[in-house]
Structure 1
Amino acid sequence: MSKKYRLFADKPGQLEQRGLSRRAALLSIANHTAVPIQGEWLEAFWCEECQQKNWYYVRQSDDGIYNISLAPRELWQQVTGVIDPHGNPSVGEFTRMNAKQLSCHTVNSFYCL
Structure 2
Amino acid sequence: MSKKYRLFADQPGQLEQRGLSRRAASLSIANHTAVPIQGEWLEAFWCEQCQQKNWYYVRQSDDGIYKISLAPRELWQQVTGVIDPHGNPSVGEFTRKNSKQLSCHTVNSFYCL
Cα distance in 1 between the residues matched to 2:25 and 2:80: 21
TM-score w.r.t. the length of structure 1 is 0.98
Aligned residues: 113
Partner secondary structure for residue 7 of structure 1:
strand
Report the equivalent of 1:43.
Answer: 43
- What do the CA deviations read for 1:18-57 (whole angstroms, capped 9, x no partner)? 0000000000000000000000000001111111110000
TM-score normalised over the length of structure 2: 0.98
CA drift at 1:8: 0.1
Q: CA deviation at 1:85?
A: 0.5
Separation (CA, whole Å) in 2 of partners of 1:101 and 1:47: 28
SS in 1 for 2:41: strand
Q: 2:27 matched to which residue of 1?
A: 27
1:66-102 deviation line (CA, Å, top 9, x unaligned)? 0000000000000000000110010000000000111
Q: CA RMSD in A?
A: 0.6
Tell me the distance in 1 between the aligned counterparts of 2:84 and 2:60.
23
* The 10-residue stretch of structure 1 (96-105 or 62-71) with the greater mean CA deviation from structure 2: 96-105
- Runs of 4+ in structure 1 off by over 6 angstroms are none
Identity of aligned residues (%): 95
Q: Deviation of residue 59 (structure 1)?
A: 0.2
Between the aligned partners of 1:86 and 1:97, the Cα distance in structure 2 is: 14
Report the CA distance between 1:12 and its aligned residue.
0.2
Tell me the SS of whatever aligns to 2:27.
Answer: helix
What's the CA shift for 1:112? 1.7
Paired with 2:82 and 2:49, the residues of 1 have a C-alpha distance of 24
User: Which residue of structure 2 aligns with residue 14 of structure 1?
Assistant: 14
